Amino acid sequence: MKNETAVFGGGCFWCTEAIFKMVKGVKSVTPGYAGGHAESPNYFQVCSGTTGHAEAIKVEFDPDVIMYEDLLEVFWQAHDPTTKNRQGNDIGTQYRSIILYQDLSQKTKAEDSLARANSSGQFKKPVVTEIKPLEAFFEGEDYHRNYFANNPNQPYCRVIISPKVAHFLEKNKDKAVIK
């Protein structure tokens, strides 16, 4: 079976990239921009909040190893989907929680997963994640790729990303989802 792709926005793409790169069956994770109206946006335009795009990741995965539904579970763990247009100190529409589906199957699975997340008691507040069709994904600039791996001592990586990665690893240490 050939690889498939999924697109998620869960705050800073450096954080979500770092987590999804650890997932068994994930072949690649590309940071970029999606969900907005501007053509070929760059990082500074997206950060201005005027493009409508969210920082997002495109996840290429092997469906024989991991299913889209499992990636959705990783998505819920990778960020706080109950805060609108915000993840921690990162504030703005570019940091919103969003699932960008590519077909009816992904849409249905995303909606079902969101309903389960809301009813599970996993979150103290309602999930505010948007679910919308993927119209385009614009790859981020090269320096965003593998940001956490390439900059482990950068303050944002030490203070924000490292604890998220550690929490994800601890929560999933006994599960087959980690490479």
Query: 55-90 pLDDT, tens per residue?
Result: 999 999 999 999 999 999 999 999 999 999 999 888
Q: Residue type at 104?
A: L
Instruction: Identify the pLDDT of residue 68.
Output: 97
Residues labelled catalytic: 12
- Bridge-based pairing state of the strands 26-34 and 4-10: unpaired
| Structural domains present in the chain | 4-171 (3.30.1060.10)
Instruction: Give the pLDDT band of residue 175 (cuts 50, 70, 90).
Output: confident
Distance CA 148, CA 126 (A): 30
pTM score, two decimals? Answer: 0.94
What's the confidence (pLDDT) of residue 88? 85
Average pLDDT over residues 37-59: 95
Q: 3-state class of 86 per DSSP?
A: strand
Structure tokens at 123: 């979150």
Gyration radius of the chain over CA positions: 15
Q: Can you tell me the mean pLDDT for 93-99? A: 97
